[in-house]
Chain A
Amino acid sequence: MPSFRQSVKVRVSLFSCVSMITVALVPAIAQAQEIMDRDALSDVYPGAAYSPYAQRDYPDKVLWGDTHLHTRLSADAGLFGNTLGLDDAYRFARGDEVVSSTGQPVRLGRPLDWLVIADHSDAMGFSDDMATGAPRLMAFEQARGWYEGLQQGGMAAADAAVNLITNFAQGTLQEGMLDEYSPGSATYAAVWDKVIDTAELYNDPGTFTTIIGFEWTSLIAGNNLHRNVLFRDGADRVGQVVPYTTQPPVGSPNPLDLYAYLENYEAVTGGQAFAIAHNGNLSNGMMFPVDFQYTGEAVDANYVQLRNQWEPLYEVTQIKGDGETHPMLSPDDAFANFEIWDAGNLDLSEAKTPEMLRTEYARQALMNGLMLEEQFGTNPYKFGMVGSTDAHTSLTAVEEDNFFGKTVSSEPSAERMQGAFVRTEQGAFMDYQLSAGGYTGVWATENTREAIWDAMARKETYATTGPRMIVRLFGGWDFTAADLGSRELARIGYARGVPMGGDLRPREGDAAPSFIVYALRDPVGANLDRIQIVKGWVSADGTTQERVYDVAWDAARTPDANGVLPPVGNTVDVANAGWMNTIGASELGTVWTDPDFDPALPAFYYARVIEIPTPRWVVYDAKRFGVPIPPEAETSHQERAYTSPIWYQPGG
C-alpha cells in the first residue's frame, strides 16, 4: 500500500495526465476560444451543462484559517492570564462573540473557515488545570497553595502567579507534578483526549473545520526550532497517540526525532500528519541549515529526505515577525523590510549576526534548497507558504483594527504598545513591533478536514499578513493574455499548467515558463498596489540568485526610465485611523513570461501581492485610547500575500 505522500503523488500525476489530455483535446478553447460557447462547453463538459461551476474537479474555494493558535492549555498562555479554553477558541474562530481574558467583548470581522489549535505539548494542560482547580493537580500541596491564592484575587493572586511562574521556570515544582503533564501519565492522556474531543465537537464539515494538532516547542539555547504538527485524521486515529514533547527522556528537541514520531504515527495508526516550522527569524541561523544541523551532524541525504518528506509548508509570517526575507539578504527588494524581528533569538539571549540571516529566512531557504537538491538529489526546503497568528490569547484576531495581541498582556489597552515584549542587553523586541498577522488561504475542493489537509500537503496554499485577498498562480509553458481575459483562469490554469505548490511540467519546445497570476483585493480591505513574481535560482557557478519582478499594477502608473515602478502613494490618515481606496486597483492580473529564463538552471517562482498602505494596529490604539504612538513605531505598512512557489527543474 503506498504511503500518503506516494498516494498524493499518484493522484497529482493522474490529474496531470487528465489535464494534458484535456489540453490535447481542446487546443482551440485553450488558446483562442475564451468565451464559453456551446461547442466549447460540450468539449469540456461532454453532455453537461451550461454552468461552468458544475462538475468541477479542481479546488475552487479559498478557505481561510490559522494553523497556529494557543489556548490556556499552553503553560505560557494560561500562567500569564489566558482564561479562555478550547471551546472559546473555536467559537471565536467560527465567528461567535466572546469575552477576552481581559474582559473585553471581541468578535472577528468575518468568521474563519478552519482552525488548528496548536498548544505546546510540553506541560500541556498544567495551566488549564490550575485555572480550574482540577483534583488531579490539587493533589499536590504546592499547587493547592497557588490555586487558593489565585482564587483570592488581588495581591494574593499576583503573588501566587509570580511564585508559580518562578517555580515553573526554575524547575522547582513539587516532585511528580510535571510528570503528570508529560506523556506516559493518565493526566496527560486525559488532557489530549479533551483536545481531541473538543476538536471533534466543533468540526462541522462544510461549514467549519477543526484540524487536530499541537506545537512541538524545540528551543536550543534560546534558538527557535518550533514546529506545529497537523493531523489529517480524527479521534479514531489521533487518539491512539499523545503529542511528542521536547524534554528528554520521553521527548527530544531534535527535529529528526520528531520525524520519527510522525513516521511512527502513520505506521501505527494508518493516519497522516506533517509538521510546519515557524519563526526561523528567531532561530539565529538554525532553522534552515545548509551544512551542519544544530547537533553538529552534517546535513546529509537522510536529513534532506526527511525534511522534504515531513515539512511541506513553512509558516512565513506571524505575530513575531515576517519571515519571507530580510533587507540585508534582498537589498534590491524595496518591499523586503516588512515587520522584521531581527534582534536575536527567541529569548534574546544571543544577538543576531548578519551571517545568521542566510539560514533563517524563507526566500533564501528556498534558494538553498535548490542548491542542496543539486548535491543530494532532494530539496529539503521545498515548502509552501502559510501564515498564522501564534496568538496565546485563544483569539485568532489579527485584523489591524481588531488586534487582540500576542499574549493577554498585549490585549487592547492604553499601555500595550509602550513596553518591550522581550528586552535584554542583546536587544529588544518592542511591543509596537507585534505584527498583526497572519492567515492562510487554502485552495480546496470543500471545507473538510481531509480536503484542507490534502491541499496543504500539495502546498496549494498562500500566506497573508492578515487581509483576505484572493490569489491564483499557475505556471505553464504557453499561457497567453487571452487566457487571463477569459475569466476562466483556474480552469485553464489547471488544464494547462500547475497551481502554486506544484512543479512545472517538462519543458515544451523552446519556451520560457509563463505564469498566470491574479489577485482580487480583500472585499472589505485595501486596494492592491502591485503583484510581483519572486524568482530564485542557482546560477551556473553554484551561487544562489534572486530577482523580484513587478508584473501587474494599476493603470495610473508607468515605470520610469530605469524600469522602476513609482510608489503607489499613501492615503493613511493617522489622526483619524483611516485610509481611502482612491489609489491602487481592486484587482490585478497578468500572464508573465520569465524574460531571464535559462533552461539549464533550477528555479522557483512565487507571487507576492502587495496592498496599498494601510494603518498598523498602533494607529487604531492611538485613536481609541488617546495615547501617543512611540516615535520609532511605523504607522502604516503594505500588507501582502505570499503564494507557495512553483518549481522548475531542468529535465523536469
Chain B
Amino acid sequence: MTARRHPALIRSAAILAALLLLASPTAACLACIAMPDDSLADKAAAAEAVALLRPDPRDPFRFAPVGFLKGGPVADAVPFLVSRARAAEFAADPAAAIVATWAPSGGWAIHDIGGTALAATLSDILSRDLTTPEARRDAFGPLVGHAEPAIARMAMIELASIPYAVLRTTDVRIDRAEVARMVADPLWTEWAPIAILLLGLSDDPADRAFIHRAARLAAENGRTTHLAAWITALLETKGTDALDWLSDTWLSDPSHPDEVLRQIGLALASHAGRTDATGAAIRAAAGRLAAARPPVAAALAGTMAERGDWSLAADAERWLAEGRITSPADSFLLTHYVLAAEAARTETQP
C-alpha cells in the first residue's frame, strides 16, 4: 500500500510532516533510552503549584507544605505517607524537603528529596527561559555530578533530552569509571547512554581508547546494548575515519540483524545535524547506507525530513509497496517520511 493511493492521507500530509518533526526522535538525544519520566524541572514548569514538603508537626505520618516555589497555597491535603526511610532522612537533615507538584487535574505528586540547594536550584530553573536546547544545556550542564543527588539526576535527564548537535557543544565531562559502572549495572541502563555520549566529548586519550574498545567489542560480539550511544561517541572521537570502519564492520555484512543497523542509523542521525565538514561527510555516507539498508533509512528518516532531504522518498515508497519493511516501527517512520515528502512536493508545485 502506498501513500499515493490514499489522497486523504496526502491532504493531511503537511500536518503529519509537522507532527513528524515535533514528535521525531531528532528533537532529542537519539542514542538515549527514554528516561522513565520527565525531569523534575519539566514537572515543576508544568505544575500549577510547586511545594516543599516536610512531615506535618501535628501528624508525622503526613506531609505538609513548608513553602512554595511556585503558586500555592493549595487547599488539597497531601495524600502520601511519610515513610520510615523519608522520616530518617528528614531527621538526619533538618533542611531536607520533598519537592511536590500540584495540578488541578492530577492533584498532588511527590518527586525528589533534597536540601536547600535543591530548592534554590529549582527556583533558579523556574525563573529561566528554557525554550531552546542551548538554554537547557547552559542551565543543566553545570549541574551534572552535583553533590545533591536529586539535582544531578535532574541534570542528566535534561541533557539526555536535548539534540546531540547541541549536547556536543557542552563543556560537561564525566568520569570514565562512572560510565563503566553504569554500563555494567542493569539498574543504570537508562542512564548509561547519556553518560557514554558525555564521555565521547572528552579529549582524554584514555577515554577515547575506552570508547573504541567498547565499540570494537560490540562489533565482535554482535551486541546491541547501548550500541547507538557507543557509535555516536565513536563518530565524535574518530570523525569520518569511523565511517569506513562502520561500513566494513557492520553495514557491508548482510547477516547483521536489523536492530544493529537501526542503532547505527540512529548514531549517524545524531551527527547529521552538524554543520561542519564532518557532518557533511556523515550525511553523505548515511545517505548511501540508508539507500542500501532500509532499517538505516528508517532510523535516519526523522533527521532527513527535518532537513528537507527527500532523497530517499522514492526508495522508501518502493520498499513499503514491496513489503520489504517488516518492522512496524520502521514502517511507521518511513510511511511518515514518504507522506512528508509528498506534502513538500505538493507545496512547492505551482
Contact = CB atoms under 8 A, between A and B. Distances in A.
Interface of A: 80, 145, 148-149, 152, 155-156, 158-163, 165-166, 327-328, 337, 340-344, 351-354, 356-357, 424-430, 433, 631-634
Given A161-B186, A351-B110, A145 B81 contact: no
A583 to B, nearest CB: 26
A319 B89 CA distance: 21
Nearest to B180: A155
B189 interface: yes
A343 B183 contact: no
B89 A328 contact: no
Given A162-B184, A343-B86, A425 B110 contact: yes
A185 B111 CA distance: 44
A426 B81 CA distance: 11
7 contacts: A149-B223, A155-B183, A156-B221, A162-B189, A344-B83, A353-B80, A356-B81
Interface string B31-44: 00000110010000
Contacts, number: 96
Contacts of B111: 425
B88 interface: yes
B91 interface: yes
Given A159-B223, A163-B225, A353 B88 contact: no
B84 A354 contact: no
A602 B149 CA distance: 51
User: Residue among A159, A166, A337 with the most chain B CB within 10 A?
Assistant: A159
Interface of B: 36-37, 40, 61-62, 79-81, 83-86, 88-89, 91-92, 109-112, 183-186, 189, 213-214, 217-218, 221-226
A633 B87 CA distance: 11
Nearest to B192: A162
B105 to A, nearest CB: 18
Contacts of B226: 162
Contacts of B85: 343, 427-430, 433, 632
Nearest to B183: A158
Nearest to A350: B80
B61 A159 contact: no
Contacts of B110: 351, 425-427
A162 B112 CA distance: 26
A327 B86 CA distance: 14
Contact of B221 (A159, A162, A354, A427): A159
A428 B83 CA distance: 9
Nearest to B224: A163
Given A158-B184, A342-B84, A425-B111, A149 B189 contact: no
A357 B61 CA distance: 11
Given A145-B221, A161-B186, A424-B36, A353 B92 contact: no
A156 B92 CA distance: 41
Contacts of A353: 79-81
Contacts of B218: 159
A353 B189 CA distance: 30
A169 B213 CA distance: 27
Looking at chain B's contact residues, the main secondary structure is: mixed
B96 to A, nearest CB: 10
A352 B83 contact: yes
Nearest to B259: A172
B155 to A, nearest CB: 15
A149 B221 contact: yes
Contacts of B84: 337, 340-342, 433
Nearest to A353: B79
Given A163-B223, A166-B225, 10 more contacts: A148-B221, A149-B221, A156-B217, A158-B183, A159-B217, A162-B186, A327-B61, A328-B81, A343-B83, A427-B85
B293 to A, nearest CB: 20
Nearest to A81: B186
B217 A357 contact: no
A340 B89 CA distance: 14
A343 B84 CA distance: 7
Contacts of A633: 88
Contacts of B221: 145, 148-149, 152, 156, 159-160
Q: 3 smallest A-B Cβ distances: which pairs?
A: A632-B88, A158-B184, A343-B83
Contacts of B213: 155
A352 B86 CA distance: 12
A425 to B, nearest CB: 5
B83 A155 contact: no
A352 B92 CA distance: 22
B195 to A, nearest CB: 13
Contacts of B225: 159, 162-163, 166
B53 to A, nearest CB: 12
Contact of B217 (A155, A165, A354): A155
A342 B183 contact: no
Contacts of A351: 80-81, 110
Nearest to A321: B84
Contacts of B88: 632-634
B186 A328 contact: no
B183 A162 contact: yes
B40 to A, nearest CB: 8
A537 to B, nearest CB: 24
A497 to B, nearest CB: 37
A631 B186 contact: no
Nearest to B108: A351
B209 to A, nearest CB: 13
Contact of B83 (A158, A165, A166, A342): A342
User: Residue among A340, A341, A425 with the most chain B CB within 10 A?
Assistant: A425
Contact of B81 (A159, A352, A632): A352
Given A162-B225, A328-B61, A352 B80 contact: yes
B86 A427 contact: yes
Contacts of A634: 88
Contacts of A427: 83, 85-86, 110
B37 to A, nearest CB: 6
Nearest to B184: A158
A357 B129 CA distance: 43
A425 B89 contact: no
Contact of A425 (B37, B214, B222): B37
Nearest to B62: A354
A342 B221 CA distance: 43
A344 B85 CA distance: 11
A354 B61 contact: yes
A472 B83 CA distance: 34
A161 B188 CA distance: 13
Nearest to B88: A632
A428 B62 CA distance: 17
A511 B113 CA distance: 55
Contacts of B79: 353-354
A193 to B, nearest CB: 30
Contacts of A631: 92
A632 B217 contact: no
Contacts of B80: 351-353
A354 B223 CA distance: 46
A238 to B, nearest CB: 34
A202 B218 CA distance: 43
B343 to A, nearest CB: 33
A341 B85 CA distance: 8
Nearest to B225: A163
A591 to B, nearest CB: 36
A562 to B, nearest CB: 22
A632 B85 CA distance: 8
B84 to A, nearest CB: 4
A425 B218 CA distance: 33
User: Residue among B36, B80, B85, B111 with the most chain A CB within 10 A?
Assistant: B85
Nearest to B223: A159
B91 A166 contact: no
B334 to A, nearest CB: 21
Nearest to B210: A155
Contacts of B86: 343, 427
Contacts of B61: 327-328, 354
B217 A145 contact: no
